[in-house]
């Protein structure tokens, strides 16, 4: 007789099994030398690059979001771009010697990471999270979005196959294929999971932060883009349209609303139209809003990551075949006005403001729906730029560049990342572009430096001033050799 198990039970058991396997694999891998870790990472990067186009097509076919070619670019950036940024980061053995303070710092993995991957960037997020986890010598279990299981699991398979061929222990990296809410919760709450790395919708991020263990969650972005009278208007217009249309606005730092300084507003509109922006009439905007958003202001999933033509077809309006984005008037800001909130699709809000001060005020209002995430400014007046930087509750500010690819570090010098933390104001514990340094801990070996005061030693301990510690003649540089020998011995055990 064939036994059939409830899908939730199967998912829960799979989560347990994969975490157990990752923990077991870490027993030896946590003592692996830096050269071996980097060789494994390099092999995974090469495999991801070779499969970037195929995985991009899979992600597009499975989710229907964006463009396959843009997903290829994101896969390549998640692999090679992120690797270029972290390849020289020391994560194993001795990290630093501070001879003045007599402190030696040693890297230590966080442990098993539970990583949640979104449907909007399924393959690139998986590639990125695996790479930074293995570089930190962590185990990792990926939980795909239910609508992107096939493409996410294939990206993980590609990375695992290459990594294990290069010496990575089996089970260190894995992906859940039986997905349920119960299974994902089991993964996040498993006692052997040390850290949750959550990228996705607000519900999932809230759940991650409610598990009673360390979590790096990424909330919604609602990037307001201010275009100042001092800006290069034509260039700003082109960048806004290009950024918003990139992969149909599926990067959470993409521009969501344009705040146009009054003296250049009409010129900006004309330049955006020339670049492919289609201005919706009042009636068309009403039809799009009514069809796209639920009564609670959230988008219907079928509109996420869609082209203007796909959106128009779903709401019964006509738009030009060459339209790259749709623009609707931003008349009011608030929960009851969904144009003012995050729209992970090719719909952009637009309003006029009277100078940078009003632009600042409007941007702050918009950031209530994306606190801590990102803001964009196009200006050549550095005082305006700094005013926004000092006043806005956003930890990524893109200046005269794309919001989407700027925030992830492609068109800027920001740390390459597909997990953009919004800091305390956004409900996260950090405000950085998440990378490898957030996935390993640092041990600090501190030698005696200063004698304790006599009063502290009066009731016990040695009082002759001869406190034990690192001798003055000890060669600190030999610590590297000692640590390497110890790590090799531990790896053999």
**Residues that are catalytic:** 252
277 closest CA partner among 236, 337, 331, 226: 236
**With contact defined as beta carbons under 8 Å apart, do 247 and 67 qualify?**
yes
- How many Cβ atoms from other residues are within 10 Å of residue 6's Cβ? 10
Name beta bridge partners: 372.
394
Helix ranges (H only) for 166-279 are 181-189, 202-209, 233-245, 265-275
**With contact defined as beta carbons under 8 Å apart, do 32 and 134 qualify?**
no
- Residue 120, judged by CB atoms within 10 A of its CB (0-12, 13-18, 19+), counts as buried
> Pairing between strand 103-109 and 94-98?
antiparallel
Pairwise CA distance, residues 38 & 473, whole Å: 34
Pairwise CA distance, residues 490 & 493, whole Å: 5
Sign of the torsion angle spanned by Cα atoms 269, 272, 273, 279: negative
**194 backbone dihedrals φ, ψ, rounded to 5°:** -100, -25
Pairwise CA distance, residues 160 & 325, whole Å: 38
Name beta bridge partners: 53.
none
Pairwise CA distance, residues 93 & 373, whole Å: 34
395 closest CA partner among 419, 359, 361: 419
- Secondary structure class of 350 (helix, strand, coil): strand
Pairwise CA distance, residues 348 & 225, whole Å: 10
Sign of the torsion angle spanned by Cα atoms 54, 58, 61, 67: negative
144 closest CA partner among 120, 164, 161, 109: 120
């Amino acid at each position: 007789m064939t036994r059939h198990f409830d899908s939730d039970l199967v998912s829960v058991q799979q989560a347990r099994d994969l975490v157990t396997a990752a923990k077991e694999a870490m027993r030896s891998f946590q003592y692996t030398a830096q050269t071996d870790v980097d060789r494994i990472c390099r092999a995974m990067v090469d495999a991801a690059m070779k499969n970037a186009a195929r995985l991009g097509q899979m992600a597009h076919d499975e989710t229907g979001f964006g463009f396959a070619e843009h997903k290829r670019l994101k896969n390549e950036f998640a692999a090679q771009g992120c690797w270029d940024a972290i390849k020289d980061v020391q994560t194993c053995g001795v990290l630093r010697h501070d001879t003045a303070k007599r402190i030696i710092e040693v890297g230590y993995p966080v442990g098993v990471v539970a990583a949640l991957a979104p449907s909007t960037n399924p393959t690139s997020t998986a590639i990125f999270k695996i790479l930074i986890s293995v570089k930190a010598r962590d185990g990792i279990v990926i939980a795909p979005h239910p609508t992107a299981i096939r493409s996410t699991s294939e990206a993980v398979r590609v990375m695992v196959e290459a990594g294990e061929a290069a010496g990575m222990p089996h089970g260190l990296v894995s992906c859940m294929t039986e997905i349920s809410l119960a299974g994902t919760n089991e993964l996040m709450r498993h006692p052997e999971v040390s850290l949750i790395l959550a990228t996705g919708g607000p519900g999932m991020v809230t759940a991650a932060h409610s598990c009673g263990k360390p979590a790096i969650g990424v909330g919604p972005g609602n990037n307001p883009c201010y275009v100042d009278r001092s800006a290069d208007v034509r260039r700003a217009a082109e960048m806004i349209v290009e950024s918003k249309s990139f992969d149909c606005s599926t990067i959470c730092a993409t521009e969501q609303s344009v705040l146009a300084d009054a003296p250049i507003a009409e010129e900006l509109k004309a330049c955006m139209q020339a670049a492919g922006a289609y201005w919706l009439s009042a009636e068309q905007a009403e039809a799009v809003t009514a069809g796209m958003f639920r009564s609670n202001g959230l988008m219907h999933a079928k509109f996420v990551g869609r082209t203007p033509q796909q959106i128009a077809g779903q709401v019964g309006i006509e738009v030009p075949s060459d339209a790259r984005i749709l623009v609707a008037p931003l008349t009011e800001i608030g929960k009851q006005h969904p144009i003012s909130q995050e729209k992970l699709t090719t719909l952009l809000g637009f309003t006029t403001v009277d100078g940078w001060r009003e632009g600042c005020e409007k941007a702050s209002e918009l950031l209530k729906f994306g606190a801590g995430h990102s803001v964009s400014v196009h200006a050549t007046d550095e005082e305006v730029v700094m005013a926004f930087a000092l006043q806005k509750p956003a930890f990524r500010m893109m200046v005269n560049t794309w919001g989407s690819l700027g925030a992830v570090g492609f068109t800027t010098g920001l740390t390459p990342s597909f997990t953009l933390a919004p800091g305390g104001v956004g409900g996260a514990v950090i405000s950085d572009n998440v990378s490898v340094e957030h996935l390993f801990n640092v041990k600090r070996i501190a030698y005696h430096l200063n004698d304790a005061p006599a009063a502290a030693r009066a009731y016990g301990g040695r009082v002759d001033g001869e406190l034990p510690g690192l001798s003055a003649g000890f060669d600190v540089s030999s610590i590297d050799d000692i640590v390497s020998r110890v790590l090799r011995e531990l790896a053999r055990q």
